[in-house]
A and B are shown apart, each in its own frame.
Chain A
């Protein structure tokens, strides 16, 4: 079994802003451990000469021309927003700062 702990799951949940009950933390700890174990099995096969893959299809250098296209109108942009003020989104003041 891998070393996933309940503390790690609780920490991850708080970073992801997901509220979990103690029961959910417990069951997710077991499930995540099992997933990590399965990944470890794959890792055993992958030797140093096998490069890591982050994409299933071997594509690269897919670029867009630097030409402006159509933009949303402020009305469209704000259509799904819970609140706005003029053409700006209005959000709860969040304790924190720009990253």
Chain B
């Protein structure tokens, strides 16, 4: 693949205005599929979570999953959309083995939700309103593995293997209207928009929203128009960009690539493009053509979805606080600096810290543990921090430290024990005998011993050199094998000096 010519990003922005658009697919975390009672579980042995409906076998009939409809309405409401009084399903006809029926059941002319908007916050705190055209329900397709090609891609493949476990998984596709005015922030806005959608569906509890697993997938549309031109430029659609960082990079790349072509008098081909994580480039997919002639028609096997006003009211009342408002509130309540808050947010630990604070920990202590030791262990073990330990256990650990029962060093050991499944922090303390020595007489005996070895320390402290206490504290901690509260030892040493 020849390297595409790229224009310097700033130069591209000088000449052209970028216009963005996104299609985000969200896999709903219902227990069963959209139109069949097969478990909604992708992974494991291929073709085990399928029914005749998922294979489109003759005589099988789809039935709508009521829970998926509720989830979709909640999502529509969270996106500020109107909910259609009546919506229906349609068949999108195409021949490709990712669906065995030769059509996908989707919504076309009557989506369940339409005309909304989402507030997206950029890193510097500015807010951009992204207009939402529609959110509609559909089913996911099966997973193809191409065999025989040099790179596992379709080009040169000899045959393909199909697993239909994912076929029929409930999806909501969220489509934006064209987004103007993002300018040099376009790549960042792309990332922030997808992150906002992720936050919304996580807060609603309707999707696992793990991009690396394909629960949340983004197609990014980019077009450029020369400064001063009203008419929109030709757009490209970069498919299935599956990390936040990639969304940002892909949009930046397309702006630079298209600008280079347009500046030389070339034209942009309306096509889908594929993002390559390894090289940080996009490459041409198929052009828009006959393949897009989907011959939609109303799905005759399914009935209209007509949600009652009561149901919509009920779901609206149950909506969580919008993510942007929640972030502003938490930041104020916790008293974090911008940097502290961004660290937590960028690490995806907002929910964990919030839950830990709710469980009784101070915000700073919660932040320290999640951003520090827990993230470090997660990194070492290539695991998600949130999967290692529960917020309740972290709060319990913080409480033990604050009560003086554990010092930091012991607390880290207790944390390891909790992560390794040895029980709650208190159970680990009991089982491993890790509590600090809180018996003053034992500490005083150790202090006496340390002072005997360093007789000049007390005099130095009396002379105002309080830092001299450090040597004694160190010796005591060593004698107690670390199981002492250093702050208490310091207090006792200073008391002794004062009493001299």
Contact = CB atoms under 8 A, between A and B. Distances in A.
Contact of A97 (B39, B149, B286, B305): B286
Contact of A71 (B49, B93, B95): B49
Contacts of B231: none
A88 to B, nearest CB: 4
Contact of A74 (B45, B148, B291): B45
Interface string A42-61: 00000000000011000111
Interface string B34-48: 000111000001111
Q: Which of A65, A67, A85, A88 is packed against the most chain B CB atoms within 10 Å?
A: A88
Chain A facing B: main interface SS:
loop
A77 B30 CA distance: 23
B161 A70 contact: no
B158 A70 contact: no
B39 A66 contact: no
Contacts of A93: 146, 148-149, 154, 157-160
B267 interface: no
A71 B154 contact: no
Contacts of B65: 63-64, 66
Interface in B287-322: 290-291, 293, 295, 298, 300, 303-307
Interface stretch (A11-19, A21-29, A30-38): A11-19
Contacts of A98: 96, 98, 141, 144, 240
Interface stretch (B50-58, B323-331, B440-448): B50-58
A66 B31 contact: yes
Chain A contact residues (Cβ within 8 angstroms of B): what range? 35 or more
Contacts of A11: 290, 293
A70 B105 CA distance: 22
Interface residues of B, number: 64
Contacts of A86: 46, 161
A98 B78 CA distance: 29
A67 B31 contact: yes
Interface stretch (B66-74, B114-122, B195-203, B426-434): B66-74
Contacts of A77: 47, 50, 55, 164
Contacts of A61: 303-307
Given A59-B303, A86-B46, A87-B47, A66 B66 contact: yes
A63 B97 contact: no
A64 B33 CA distance: 10
B244 interface: no
B483 interface: no
Contacts of B298: 54-55
B145 interface: yes
Contacts of A12: 295
Contact of B63 (A55, A62, A92): A62
Interface in B249-302: 272, 285-286, 290-291, 293, 295, 298, 300
B52 A60 contact: no
Contacts of A60: 86, 303-306
A92 B98 CA distance: 12
A15 B295 contact: yes
Contacts of B272: 97
Given A11-B290, A54-B300, A62-B64, A97 B154 contact: yes
Given A54-B298, A61-B303, A96-B96, A87 B46 contact: yes
Contacts of B163: 87-89
Nearest to A98: B98
Nearest to B64: A63
B477 interface: no
Given A55-B303, A93-B160, A99-B96, A68 B50 contact: no
B31 A68 contact: yes
Interface string B146-177: 11110000100111111110000000000000
B407 interface: no
B88 interface: yes
Given A62-B64, A66-B67, A96-B96, A89 B161 contact: yes
13 contacts: A15-B293, A60-B86, A61-B305, A63-B64, A67-B37, A68-B39, A70-B51, A88-B163, A91-B162, A93-B158, A94-B160, A96-B291, A97-B285
Given A16-B93, A64-B37, A91-B162, 20 more contacts: A11-B290, A17-B95, A54-B88, A61-B304, A64-B64, A66-B66, A67-B32, A70-B51, A71-B51, A72-B50, A74-B45, A77-B50, A85-B161, A87-B45, A88-B47, A89-B47, A89-B162, A98-B96, A99-B96, A99-B104
Interface of B: 30-32, 37-39, 45-52, 55, 57, 63-69, 86, 88, 92-98, 104, 141, 144-149, 154, 157-164, 240, 272, 285-286, 290-291, 293, 295, 298, 300, 303-307
Interface of A: 11-12, 14-17, 54-55, 59-74, 77-78, 80, 85-99
